[in-house]
Amino acid sequence: MTHATPAHKRILLKLSGEALMGDDSFGINRATIERMVSEIAEVTKVGVQVAVVIGGGNIFRGVAGGSVGMDRATADYMGMLATVMNALALADAMDKQGLTARVMSAIAIEQVVEPYVRPKALQYLEEGKVVVFAAGTGNPFFTTDTAAALRGAEIGAEVVLKATKVDGVYTDDPMKNPDATRYHKLAFDEAISRNLGIMDATAFALCRDQKLPIRVFSIVKPGALKRVVMGEDEGTLVYA
């Protein structure tokens, strides 16, 4: 039997917090998280090193009402803590499915998870462990998309894979504009100048400067992650 070779050796996978909700209105949907983990397990089986940055929108949204009128930085720290909860849930689901996961946090919370230390993260990846980066960049006024760009560059990932509710980058937000059309690929400069809302400009600019491509694809579509990793045509490629 021949084994196809993956297109990438090391990937940074960005999972939006909202993707963990499944069809629920907030929180973590068990079936959804288990399905995502099984897709991650599939790609580790072909020898790909996987690091994950997880968002927090699913939990933060549930408490967002309480943050109205709150200091922005304080609300952002709440958002970062939400990503820690998601990271713990994700790592637990990974362990249950036979993967070895390590959560590393950008903010000190050492009784709960180990701190982010770059050489340690690289060591885990070499050992075939899945590293889950929690707490975003550790700084308010940033997003977990920017954390994905940052960590992706730091660990020398070949690509940032953004798994989200839509199946690629569109000319306009497809949730709001039914006439929007999907790009097969586009340059970072175009994504930034057109102000495409799929990712924030900080994340795009960092990836552009580091020549780190991003592929946006659907988290909902079964098998999409494996297809992306095997180099098949899926979603939208944003390139430098």
Ligand X SMILES: O=c1ccn([C@@H]2O[C@H](COP(=O)(O)OP(=O)(O)O)[C@@H](O)[C@H]2O)c(=O)[nH]1
**Contact, 23 vs 29, CB < 8 A?**
yes
| Contact of residue 44 among ligand X, ligand ADP, none (CB under 5-8 Å per partner type) | none
Give the C-alpha separation, 102 to 94, whole Å: 10
Give the C-alpha separation, 234 to 227, whole Å: 7
Q: Is 169 in the site for ligand ADP (CB under 6 A)?
A: yes
The smaller minimum CB distance to ligand X, of residues 8 and 14, is found at 14
144 is in an annotated binding site: yes
| Contact of residue 190 among ligand X, ligand ADP, none (CB under 5-8 Å per partner type) | none
- Restricting to residues 139-168, name those near ligand ADP by CB under 6 A: 145, 164-166
13 is in an annotated binding site: no
**133 DSSP β-pair partners:** 53, 104
Which x/- pattern over 33-72 shows residues binding ligand ADP (rule: CB under 6 A)? ----------------------x-x---------------
239 is in an annotated binding site: no
Q: How many CB atoms lie within 10 A of CB 142?
A: 20
| Contact of residue 76 among ligand X, ligand ADP, none (CB under 5-8 Å per partner type) | ligand X
Binding site, annotated residues: 14-17, 56-57, 61, 76, 137-144, 164, 170, 173
User: Contact residues for ligand ADP (CB under 6 A)?
Assistant: 16, 18, 55, 57, 145, 164-166, 169-170, 172-175, 196-198
